[in-house]
Structure 1
Amino acid sequence: MPVKHVLLCSLDGVRPDAIQATATPNIDRLVAEGACTWQARTVMPSSTLTCHTSMLRGVDTPRHGITTNTFHPLVRPVPSLLEVAHRNGLATGFCYNWEPLRDVADPDSLNLAFLYKHPNYQLNKEGSYMRSEPEQMRFLCSLLDSLDLNLLFLYLGGTDAVGHAYGWMSPEYLESITHADRCLGQVLDKIATRWDPAETCTLVLSDHGGHEKTHGTDMPEDMTIPWILHGANVRRGHQITGPVRIYDTCVTLAHILGLPASDQWEGRVIEEALLP
C-alpha cells in the first residue's frame, strides 16, 4: 500500500563514517528501526547541485548535465520527483538554506517553499548555519501545524559549510553532524504528531562526502554516502547489501508514494529495503 507522507532529508556533505563517529540519537533510531546502507554512492562530480539534481530527478550526471553549482536549463528535461508528485495531486514542500538549490524544484511543482538564511550569512557562513538551522526548523514545524504535506524535502547545509571551514572529520565537523541530528529531531517530533506513522516514511541521506576541506572528486571519502529509509512498509533493522545510487532515491520514493515512475528515470526501486 502506498504511504501518504514522505520526509526526504538531505544533510549536505555528511560522510557515513562521521555519523558513526559522533552522537546522532535521532539518526541512530531511524537506522535501528529501518533499512540502511553506509555504502551508497553519489555521482560525479560530487558537488552539491550536481548530486541533488540526480537525487531528485532520478538520473546520472551525463543525462542531466549539471556539473557545477551553477544551474542551467536541462537540454532534455527530466521530471523531478516533486513535479511528478505535484502533477498527481500530492502536496509538496521544499525547505532549504543554500540558495542555489532553488533550481532543483521545477516551477509550479511546490505548495510550500522557503529559504532560511541568517542575516550574518556572508560574514560567517558556517556560524550562521549553526545559529539559523534551529530557527529554520521551528519555522518549518509551525508551518506543518497548518499544512498537510505529502512530500517534504528538507535540506540542511551547515555540515558542508563546517567541513569546508574546518575539515571533514574534524571535531567541529563531527559536532555539526550532532547539531544537524538535533535539527532533524525537531522535525521528526513534529511530524510524529501530525502524520500517522502507519502512513509515513522518512529517508535521510547525504549528497556527497568530503576530505580535508573539499569534495568533488571520485575518492571514496567524497563518493560514499549514507542512505537510511524508515517507516511504513520498510524492513526493520536491515542492513542493505545491494548497491544503492543517489538517483535510486527518486524512483524508490515515487514507488513508496504510489506514483508513476517516469520512463526517463535511470534509478531503480531499492526493493531490498521494503517489506514484501
Structure 2
Amino acid sequence: MYRIKNITALLLLLLLSSQMNAQLKDAKHVLLIGVDGLGAYAIPQAEMPHLKSLMTKGSSSFEARSVLPSSSAVNWASMLMGAGPTFHGYTEWGSQVPEIPSIETTKNNLFPSIFSLIKNQVPDAKTAAIYSWGGIGYLLEKDVIDFVIPTKDDETLTVSEASRIIKDHQPLFTFVHLSEPDNVGHGIGHDTPEYYAELKKVDERIGKLIAAVKEAGIENETIIMVTADHGGIDKGHGGKSLVEVQIPWIIAGPGIIQNQKLDSSIVTYDTAATIAFILGLEMPQVWRGQAIKEVFKP
C-alpha cells in the first residue's frame, strides 16, 4: 500500500510539472537587462516610460534585494550564478577571482552559471553576453557563450551590438549589462537631478532593446527581465541601507501575469533560478536561488 501511495504522488507531481511547462510553451527566448546602480527607490519618480510599460505588461517588485555587500561584482556573480558569495566565492566590488574558493566549479574552473546550465542541457542553443563594464568579463565562462562582447563603458555600442545579436541570431538567452546610472551615481550622486536625467537615457536604451526584440520577430516568444546589481546613497554603495540594497525586479512576456506587484521575497540570485525554470533547466544542488513562480499565469 505504501508503494502505491508513492507512485500516486509521483504521478501527481509529474502532472503538475507538465501543466507548468505547458503554460511556458511560448517562452522561447529570455532577455535579461542588468542596469548598474539602478536603485528601486528612484523608479516611481523617474521618467522611464519603456520600463514602466514593461511593469504594466508584466510583474514587478521594488523590494528585491542584492546580496551583501551591495557592490558590483559580488552581485553580478550572484545574479548569473544562482547563489550567494558564500558559495560562488566572489565577495567584493571588483572581484576578478573568488576570494573564497567556489564550493563547486565547472570544467572551466568557474562556479556554474545560467550560461553553463544552458550549454550543458541545451547544447545547440545560442547565448550572448554584451557588457559595458569590464569587470563582468571575469565572471563569465566565455567558452560556453556564443557571443561575448565587451564595450568599455560605451552604452551606445552596448545597445547596438546587443540589438544586432538579437535580430541576427535570436539567442535563447541574452544578457545585456548597462553601466549607467552607476557612473553618474559615483560622479555626481544618487537621487540627484543628474541621476534622474541619466535614468531617462537608460530608459531610451531599454526601449531600443525592446524594439530589437520586436524587429527580430520574437516579441511574442520573449520574456524580458530588468533588474540591477545594487542601488546607492550619496556617491557610493556597498553598505546596508535599503536604498543601497533594494533593487527593481521586473519581468514581462508570454505566460507572465500583467500589471502585478509581487508579494514574493526576492534576492538577486533568484533571477538565475527563474530563468532556469522558464527554460526548463535542471538547477544544480549548489544553487540557492528559487524561481519566482508568483509571476506565472495560473
TM over 0.5: yes
- In structure 1, the partner of 2:58 is 34
Gaps of 5+ in 1: 118-128
User: Does the CA contact (< 8 Å) of 2:66 and 2:229 recur in 1?
Assistant: yes
One-letter amino acid of the counterpart of residue 159, structure 2: M
Aligned residues: 263
- In structure 2, the partner of 1:82 is 115
- In structure 2, the partner of 1:125 is none
Aligned mates of 1:187, 1:248 — CA distance in 2: 23
Deviations 1:50-86 (A, max 9, x none): 0011100111121122111122144322310011112
Displacement of 1:195: 4.2
User: Which SS does the other structure have where 2:155 is aligned?
Assistant: helix
Deviations 1:120-157 (A, max 9, x none): xxxxxxxxx5xx31233123323333222110000000
- In structure 2, the partner of 1:14 is 38
Matched, 1:259 2:281: yes
Deviations 1:216-274 (A, max 9, x none): 01111110000000001111110001201101000001111111111211010101111
Judged with a 3 Å threshold, the aligned counterparts in structure 2 of structure 1 residues 51 and 17 are, in CA distance, closer, same or farther, namely same
Aligned mates of 1:96, 1:107 — CA distance in 2: 13
Match of 1:239 among 245, 258, 261: 261
Matched, 1:71 2:96: yes
Deviations 1:146-200 (A, max 9, x none): 2221100000002101100001011111111111110111111011121423321
User: Does the CA contact (< 8 Å) of 1:83 and 1:105 recur in 2?
Assistant: no
User: Which SS does the other structure have where 1:201 is aligned?
Assistant: strand
Match of 1:61 among 85, 89, 106: 85
RMSD: 1.3
Aligned mates of 1:99, 1:141 — CA distance in 2: 19
- In structure 2, the partner of 1:24 is 48
- In structure 2, the partner of 1:219 is 241
1:172-187 equivalence runs, <5 A: 172-187=194-209
- In structure 2, the partner of 1:156 is 178
Larger radius of gyration: 2
One-letter amino acid of the counterpart of residue 144, structure 2: S
Aligned mates of 2:164, 2:102 — CA distance in 1: 38
Alignment TM-score, normalising by the size of structure 1: 0.91
Matched, 1:230 2:256: no
Task: List 4+ stretches of structure 1 deviating above 4 A.
Answer: none
One-letter amino acid of the counterpart of residue 159, structure 1: P
Gaps of 5+ in 2: 1-23, 106-110
Alignment TM-score, normalising by the size of structure 2: 0.85
Aligned mates of 2:210, 2:54 — CA distance in 1: 10
Judged with a 3 Å threshold, the aligned counterparts in structure 2 of structure 1 residues 112 and 21 are, in CA distance, closer, same or farther, namely same
One-letter amino acid of the counterpart of residue 170, structure 2: D
